Every structure is written in structure tokens, then in C-alpha cells.
């Protein structure tokens, strides 16, 4: 019997452990999009993110017998495992930052918004996050989107909790200044100098 829509994630994981391929399909349908988005926040590459999450599901199937038998929080479990894969992926490709890096001194991409609509400001902020030095960006993403504790972030990036704190302060300060500049330029209707 295939999984029914009312099966909980926990039941699906149990079926997966027992070798039910339909359960894997259903877990994939339920979690693929959000896991890809988690990966994309860390990797900033949609294709790599999709490939990595597909690999993750292949290995869930192949290592199904080693899955924890009493998993209650399936969503967070999958998300944590996917995140670890992303960090290993970055580490293997030497893409984990080794230092704090520099914030851009000039703000070349700060152009006045055409309007102050919420949607546009959102896009601006999201682009500004990508301007953060990589360590600062990863710390911000892990803390704000992945809801990881400073201690967890410190361990996964191999830095001190103090550095995590400093990078968070730095990220917010930069984003606030960036936003203020965009709003200022917009209200003046001026081109950036």
C-alpha cells in the first residue's frame, strides 16, 4: 500500500527505513523545495543546490537502514542533514572563508529604488546580503534563516562564538546603512555619485 496524504513525516520515515520507495517519493515532494532553498541560501547557486539535495535523497534511500528509528522532528532532521552537506560541499571546494573579509568600501550598486514598495526593498536587501563578506554572510544566514545558535554556527565554521557575534553586528550595521542609503537616494530622486 502506498503512502496516503495523511501519513505523517514520521510514518514516512519509518516506511522508508523498511525499504518503501513510495515513502521516499512522498518525503521528496514534501521537502524538496524548502531544502533546495536552504541550500541556495548557503551556496548561492540554484543548480548546485538542486543537485546537492537530489544527492541527499539518493543517500537517504541508500542508507535508509541507518536512519534513526525514533525520529519525531523529521523536518528539522532533514534540514540539519542537508545543511551539513552544504557546509561539507563548500569545505571540499575550499569555498569556506578563512578570514572575516572586507566590506565593500564603496557602494557601487546603490541606486535609488524606482519606488519604495515593499517588494523592491526586499530585493534590494537580498542583493545587499550577497555583498557581505562570505564569512559574515554565512553567519547571518545561519543565524537568521537557519535559526542556529551562535555556538552551532561557531562549530560549523570553525570560528569562535565571539567572532559569530561580531559578524552578526557587522551584518546588521551594513544592511541598515545600505537600506538608509537606498532610501535617501530614492527620496532625493538622484543618481548615485
Partner 1 sequence: MHAASDKEIDQLAGGYGAFQPDVAGGLRAVRLRIATNEIPAAPVRPLRPRRWYAVAAAAAVLLALGYFTLLAGNVAIANEDSAPLATVLPDGTEVLLQQGATLRYDRSFNRAERRVSLQGQAFFQVTPDLDRPFLVANAGTELRVTGTAFNLRIDGQEMEVEVSEGSVALQRGALSTPVNAGECGLAKVGKAFTVLPAPNLNRHAWRTGKLHFVDTPLSEVLQTIRNNFAVSVELSNDCDFPVAGTFRADNPAAVLTAIARLGGGQVTPLGGRTDAFQLSLDCQD
Q: Which residues sit at the interface with partner 1, rule CB under 8 A?
A: 21, 24-25, 28-29, 32-33, 36-38, 40-41, 44, 46, 49-50, 53-54, 57-58, 61-62, 118, 121-122, 124-126, 129, 141, 144-145, 172, 175-176, 179-180, 183-184, 187
Q: Which three cell numbers stand for residue 116?
A: 519604495
Return d(Cα 181, Cα 50) in angstroms, integer: 35
Neighbours of 104 (CB within 10 A): 14
Closer by beta carbon to partner 1, 2 or else 72: 2
Smallest separation (angstroms) from partner 1 to the CB of 70: 25
Nearer to partner 1 (CB atom), residue 38 or residue 163: 38
Q: How far is the CB of 193 from partner 1 (least distance, A)?
A: 18
CB of 106 or CB of 118, closer to partner 1: 118
Residues 6+ apart with CB under 8 A from 127: 109
Q: Kindly state the smallest distance separating residue 40's Cβ from partner 1, in Å.
A: 4
Phi-psi region of 152 (alpha: psi -120 to 50; beta: other; left: phi over 0): alpha
Alpha carbon distance 36, 52 (integer Å): 8
From CA 97, how far away is CA 80, in angstroms rounded? 21
Closest to partner 1 by CB, 154 or 171: 171
Q: How far is the CB of 191 from partner 1 (least distance, A)?
A: 19
Confirm if 182 and 113 have CB atoms less than 8 A apart.
yes
- Shortest Å, Cβ 162 to partner 1: 19
Amino acid at each position: 500500500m502506498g503512502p496516503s496524504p495523511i501519513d505523517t513525516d514520521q510514518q514516512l520515515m519509518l516506511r522508508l527505513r523498511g525499504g518503501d520507495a513510495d515513502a521516499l517519493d512522498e518525503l521528496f515532494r514534501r521537502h524538496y523545495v524548502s531544502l533546495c532553498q536552504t541550500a541556495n541560501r548557503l551556496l548561492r547557486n540554484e543548480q548546485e543546490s538542486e543537485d546537492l539535495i537530489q544527492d541527499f535523497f539518493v543517500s537517504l534511500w541508500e542508507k535508509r537502514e541507518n536512519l534513526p528509528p525514533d525520529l519525531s522532528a523529521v523536518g528539522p532532521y532533514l534540514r540539519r542533514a542537508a545543511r551539513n552537506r552544504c557546509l561539507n560541499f563548500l569545505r571540499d571546494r575550499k569555498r569556506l572563508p578563512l578570514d572575516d573579509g572586507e566590506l565593500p568600501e564603496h557602494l557601487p550598486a546603490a541606486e535609488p529604488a524606482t519606488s519604495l514598495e515593499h517588494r523592491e526593498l526586499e530585493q534590494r536587501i537580498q542583493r545587499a546580503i550577497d555583498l557581505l563578506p562570505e564569512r559574515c554572510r554565512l553567519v547571518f544566514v545561519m543565524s537568521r534563516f537557519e535559526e542556529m545558535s551562535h555556538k552551532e554556527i561557531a562549530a560549523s565554521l570553525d570560528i569562535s562564538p565571539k567572532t559569530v557575534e561580531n559578524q552578526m553586528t557587522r551584518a546588521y550595521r551594513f544592511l541598515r546603512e545600505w537600506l538608509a542609503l537606498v532610501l535617501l537616494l530614492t527620496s532625493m530622486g538622484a543618481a548615485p555619485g
